[in-house]
Structures are given as C-alpha cells and as structure tokens.
Amino acid sequence: MPCTLEISRSRPAYPTRTQTMANSAPVVTIGNHSLLYNQWQKMQPWLTYADSDGNPAQKFQFWDGGSAANSAYFWTSTNDHWAANTTIEVAASDLSDVWVRAGAVGGTETLWVRAFDGTDWGNWTSFTLTTIPNTAPVVTVPDVQLHTNTWTQAKNWLTYSDANGDAATKYQFWDSGTSATSAYFWTSTNDHWAANTTIEVAAADLADVWIKGGSTTGAETFWVRAFDGTDWSNWDSFTLTSVNTPPVVTAGDHSIHIDQWVTVDNWLTKTDANGDAITKYQFWDSGTAATSAYFWTPDNSHWAANTTIDVSAADLANVWIHGGSTTGSETMWVRGFDGTEWSNWDTFTVTSTPNTVPVATINDQSLHVNQWVKPQGWLTATDAEGDTITKYQFWDAGAGATSAYFWTPDNAHWAANTTIDVSASDLANVWIKGGSTTGSETMWVRAFDGTAWSNWDSFTLTSTNTAPTATINDHTLNAAQWAQLVNWTTASDADGDAITQYQFWDGGGAATSAYFWTPDNSHWASSTVIDVSASDLANVWVRGGTTAGTDSMFVRAFDGTSWSTWDSFTVTSLANHAPDTSISNQTLHINEWSQVGNLVSYADADANPATAYQFWDGGGNADSGYFWTSANSHWAASTVIDVNAADLDDVWMRGGATTGTETMYVRAYDGIDWSAWHAFTLSTIV
C-alpha cells in the first residue's frame, strides 16, 4: 500500500487588537530679529511652521522673557500689552493679530513660541529680539543776515534730519539778544518773545514762527533744537546779523536867479539798495552872508546858516530855497534817513545869478463885434534864460459900456483898469469878447518868470463889423393886389451875422397909393419907419394902389450891430379894370321864389373878387316881382339894394302876384370900381 506523506502548513498570525501610530509634534522656527525702538512688527511673517504628519497648526503660544518696564512686549486684539512671563495663547486663525513692539530703549531679550497641531504641543522655540536705540534728530540753521526790521519765517532757514526717519514733533527756540533793538521771535501766541526764554512750538505750527530783524544793525546768537517724539536734538546755535545799506541822496549843483524860489524836491536823487523808503531828510546851509541863499519851510521862513534842518519825507515838497539877494555861490548839504541809518552828507553848490526879465507881446488885433476869442493864440512869451513863465497879468483900458472886455472863469466881465492875474496853467481859460459896437481900445499884457515881471506890452483891439445888405427889386402889382415882402426881400451879411431886424418905409403919400400891412397895423401911414423882427418878415405885406401909379418904398436890415443902407424899390400899381356882372332874363311862376346867387355871373380882368353887389327893381306895380334879403323881406322898387358878396346867397327874387314883365338891374364891386348896371327881364307866368 502507498505511503501517505502529510505536510504541515503554518498561517500568518493575525493581531488580536488595533495598533496605534505615534503623533509627531509640530515644529515652529523663528530667527533672531532687530527692531527700531518702539517699532511694531507682526509675528506671522517671522514664523515657520512644520508638521511631519501634515497636521495644520490649531493654535500658538508665546512667552516674553523680558520683564523690564521698557522692554519689548506682545500685543493682541484682546490685550494691548501682555505682561512678561505670561503664556499667551492664540488660535491659529488669529495669528495675524499678534504683534510685537520693540523696547523703548536699546537692548536684547529672549522671546518664545510653540505650536499645537490638535494633538501635541511642539517644543518651545526661543529667539532673541534686539531693540535698536533711538538716534536723536539733527536740526541746523546757518549763520544768516536779515535786513533791519524785516520779517522772515524761521522755517525758511531750518534744516531737519533724523537717522531713523522720525519726523519732528516739536521745536524749541532760544534768543540770547537782550538789547531793546535786537532781533526777536514772534509766534501767534506771543508777538515779542523775551530773550533767554525757551520757546516751544509744535512742528505743525512751525510756519507760525517768525523772526524780525533788529531795529538797528548788529549780530546776536539764536538757538534751535528739535524733538522726534523720543529725544531732543542738540541745541544748534546760529548768528543772526541785522544789516542795512544806508541810502544815497544827492543833489546836483544848481543856478537860480536872485531872489528866485525853487523847491528842493526836484533837485534830489534818492536811492536805497534795500528798497527802503526815505523817511526823513536833513539839510544844512553853510552860507552865512546876509545876502546869501537860504532854506524855507512852513515852520521857519528863513533858516539860519549852520543849522540842521529836519524834514519828514512827507513834507519834502514844502522845502524851498530862496536865491541870494546878490550874485554869488554857497555850499549846501543834504542827507536822507531810511528808518535805520542816515546816508552820507552830499554837498551841492547853489549859485545866485542875475535874472533877465521875460518878454510878452501881443500884436494889434481885430475882432468882430461880440466875438469871443482866446488871447492865448495871440500871445508870445519868451525868456532869455529859459525860465518857465508862471503867470500873466492883463489890463483893459477901454472903459466904454460897449467896449471889449476880458472874461475868466471867476469873473464874467472884468472891469476896465483892473489888473487881472492869471496863472500860466489857466491861460487857456482867458477870453476876450469884442465890443458890442465897433471901435478900438488899448489892452495890455505882461508875464512873470517866477522872479520878475516883464514890461507891459500894449496892443490895440479893434471891434469891427461889416453892415449887412438888404435889397428888393422893383415890382408891379394889380390895383389893390397883396404881396408878401418875404418873397421879394434878399439880405446878406459878409461876416455871416444873422439878420435880426428889418425896417420898411413907404414914400407914397397919396390916399390911393400902395401901402404896408403888418398884423399890428393894417395900413401903415407913409413916411413912417416900420420895425419888423426877422422872425416876423413873412407877416409883412404890401398892397398895390387903388389907382394906377408908382410908389417909392425902402428897406434896410440889422445884423445885431449895424443897419444896412436903405435900399429903394418901386412898386407900380396898375389901373383897375371894373368887373363885369350879369343875370340872364328870368321866368318865374306867380309868387315863385328864386335864389339870386345861383343866377349871377361875375368876371374881373384883374382877377379881383367881388366884394359887394347892388340890385335895383324897376317894376313899380304893387303886384310885380321884388327882391328879398334877410334885412328886408320886400324891397321897394327903385331902391338901391346893397349886399356884401359874402351875403349873396341871402338874396332872393319873387315872381309877381300876377303875370307880367318888368326890368331889374344888377352890378358888382371889386373893391375898387363898380361894374356897369346890367338889366335883365323878369317874366311872371301862371
């Protein structure tokens, strides 16, 4: 039988319970660091976290080993200054809110940190934090110059620097100049800081710190230092020198006439390198002779020689020099003050010289009567020395009421034989008016050069006028014809004067001759002067004579000054032609009315209108026709019936009470002659 071989096999051993893997604690590393004093730094950027198991940090702990009051410390949002030797625990999500602040002074200290991965805390890691101490700032001001009494801001001179980059938070200033005239500090809280006083100013107010230069020249020491929030800089001293350049005042040599007055202001040249205004002047006169030139001011009319004369700049225009009373030269002096210093004295020579009087002339002149003219255009004035004419005098010798005269703005009619003073600047305002009538008179003029008057120069002023001309040509008029003289009259004036008035004269004395008519006289008598204003000329009429003939008439014109000569003209009046008037034979029914005006026919060879009519009734029977007017309702036969031409329409004719015929008559009047009677037949029918 086969042999059976049994092989024994072993199986793996299975654990009887779950095996646990060991956790690796996290590791936090951090290097040593340095910070500037009081500087802040987030911890997060400095930390490096590692976990071999890949577990994230769940929280951190910090420890500060520096216990000094001015050492570094931790800050979190829950505590703004963690005490030293205190465990500070922070969730990993709040790590960015953990800050460290460097110490307030230089030094080193040890800080610690560790992390927790949710299972184990890592080991504490230490690191050294070194606080770098503060470097004080540096502020400097160089030595400077400032014009006396000039203001400047202190910040314009100041240079500030800080090695740590800290901004200045405040400044202190010190002024060691104790003189009343020295420079000083000004701030908005004190307009004049006393010397040897600490002046503290916030950096934000530095622009409000000013320095005023001394009121006199000189040097003094000032000091400044700055604070960067931690330390003051060293005091920096600087020298402030108050400076001034004296002004320069000069006057050139001058010549003036004996006893002439001049203002010194025009002679002076003033300069100041600093641009300072001259505030006052001093003058000195070295001429001691009684006849020498001298200074005059409002408060002293003759300053003695060798006397200092003080004058404010505002009064310089009131300083005059009077030339000597005899010829000669002398030395005078002037200097100016700019508010700080006097200029050097400047000498100038004043020479008094003889004066040559000016010459003023006006040639003889003619003016139209009542004409205005400026004598300035006639006047010639010269001065051999070139002196300026300062004023004039005029004189009018014509005393007649109608003579020429002078006019100025302050006197509209200067009386004759009166001296008329006029400044040269007002010469253009002097006028002469020609006399109101023709004639001549003597006038005078002279000029003043500031020292002496010229001789009087006489000139003849003749007031002239050319009489106007007025003419009327000969004219012919019909009998009793009217004509306006304005249509006949011609007037002219060589001077261009307007005609103001006319005069007329009628030389015809016959009752039937031509005559003049004006609104105030309907029939001017002959040989009478008839005055008519030029504006009324159109209202002057002439009427032809009522009989044939000629009349001599005259006219002349007035131009406001003179009458023209009389001009004669002839008015020829033509003979009148009697008018013609008629009424044709008429037929009326018994007692029928007819208006006569419609029946009359009128004609006049001279074109004269009818002024009146006459009617005559030749029928004497009681029952014959008759005339009627508003003045008589039944005119008797064989009666002359007078009717104005204007009333012709009021004349009626009535047929007889029985049939029959009768003769009636009519004639007309043209104002001069009656026409012949015209007969017409009136027939009355049934």
- State pLDDT tens for residues 399-433: 999 999 999 999 999 999 999 999 999 999 999 99
Confidence at residue 260, expressed as pLDDT on a 0 to 100 scale: 87
| DSSP for residue 374 | -
Say how many CA atoms lie within 13 Å of 457 toward its Cβ.
19
Q: In terms of Cα–Cα distance, which of 520, 282, 99 is closest to 88? A: 99
Q: CA-CA distance, 129 to 41, in Å (whole number)? A: 11
User: Could you tell me if 305 and 286 are in contact, meaning their C-beta atoms sit under 8 angstroms apart?
Assistant: yes
If pLDDT is split at 50, 70 and 90, which confidence band does 50 have? very high
If pLDDT is split at 50, 70 and 90, which confidence band does 10 have? very low
Confidence at residue 355, expressed as pLDDT on a 0 to 100 scale: 86
Q: In this model, does residue 624 exceed pLDDT 60? A: yes
State which amino acid sits at residue 268: L
Q: CA-CA distance, 416 to 364, in Å (whole number)? A: 18
Confidence at residue 450, expressed as pLDDT on a 0 to 100 scale: 84
Task: Encode pLDDT of 249-306 as tens digits.
Answer: 999 999 998 988 999 999 999 999 999 999 999 999 999 999 999 999 999 999 999 9
What number is the average pLDDT over the span 208-212? 97
Confidence at residue 150, expressed as pLDDT on a 0 to 100 scale: 93
The secondary structure of 108-146 as a DSSP string is EEEEEEEEE-SS-BPPPEEEEEEEEPPPPPEEE---EEE
If pLDDT is split at 50, 70 and 90, which confidence band does 20 have? low
Q: CA-CA distance, 348 to 367, in Å (whole number)? A: 53
Label residue 255 left, alpha or beta by phi (over 0 means left) and psi (-120 to 50 means alpha).
beta
What's the mean per-residue pLDDT of the chain?
94
Say how many CA atoms lie within 13 Å of 630 toward its Cβ.
7
Q: Long-range contacts: 120-124, Cβ < 8 Å, 24+?
A: 120/23, 120/24, 120/25, 120/26, 121/25, 121/61, 122/25, 122/26, 122/27, 122/28, 123/25, 123/27, 124/63
Residue with the two structure tokens 């910040």: 155
Q: In this model, does residue 529 exceed pLDDT 80? A: yes
Q: CA-CA distance, 203 to 210, in Å (whole number)? A: 14
Confidence at residue 113, expressed as pLDDT on a 0 to 100 scale: 98
Confidence at residue 8, expressed as pLDDT on a 0 to 100 scale: 34
Q: CA-CA distance, 301 to 92, in Å (whole number)? A: 103
Confidence at residue 667, expressed as pLDDT on a 0 to 100 scale: 98
Confidence at residue 19, expressed as pLDDT on a 0 to 100 scale: 53
Q: Under 8 Å CB-to-CB from 460, ≥6 apart: which residues? A: 364, 365, 440, 441, 442, 443
Q: CA-CA distance, 373 to 375, in Å (whole number)? A: 6
Confidence at residue 273, expressed as pLDDT on a 0 to 100 scale: 93
What number is the average pLDDT over the span 658-668? 97
Q: In this model, does residue 127 exceed pLDDT 80? A: yes
User: Could you tell me if 369 and 438 are in contact, meaning their C-beta atoms sit under 8 angstroms apart?
Assistant: yes
User: Could you tell me if 368 and 463 are in contact, meaning their C-beta atoms sit under 8 angstroms apart?
Assistant: yes
Task: Encode pLDDT of 316-328 as tens digits.
Answer: 999 999 999 999 9
Q: In this model, does residue 535 exceed pLDDT 60? A: yes
Sign of the four-CA dihedral 639, 645, 650, 655: positive
User: Could you tell me if 440 and 463 are in contact, meaning their C-beta atoms sit under 8 angstroms apart?
Assistant: yes
Confidence at residue 323, expressed as pLDDT on a 0 to 100 scale: 94
| Residue environment code for 140-173, b if the CB has 16+ CB neighbours within 10 A, otherwise e | bbeeeebbbbbeeebeebbebebebebebebbbb
Q: In this model, does residue 3 exceed pLDDT 80? A: no
User: Could you tell me if 144 and 50 are in contact, meaning their C-beta atoms sit under 8 angstroms apart?
Assistant: no
The secondary structure of 552-564 as a DSSP string is EEEEEEE-SS-BP
Q: Under 8 Å CB-to-CB from 531, ≥6 apart: which residues? A: 501, 502, 503
Sign of the four-CA dihedral 584, 590, 591, 593: negative
Beta bridge partners of 667: 614
Flag whether the pTM goes above 0.85.
Answer: no
What number is the average pLDDT over the span 111-138? 95
Q: In this model, does residue 376 exceed pLDDT 50? A: yes
Among the ranges given (85-89, 351-355, 520-524), the one the predictor scored with the smallest mean pLDDT? 351-355
Confidence at residue 2, expressed as pLDDT on a 0 to 100 scale: 29
User: Could you tell me if 33 and 46 are in contact, meaning their C-beta atoms sit under 8 angstroms apart?
Assistant: yes
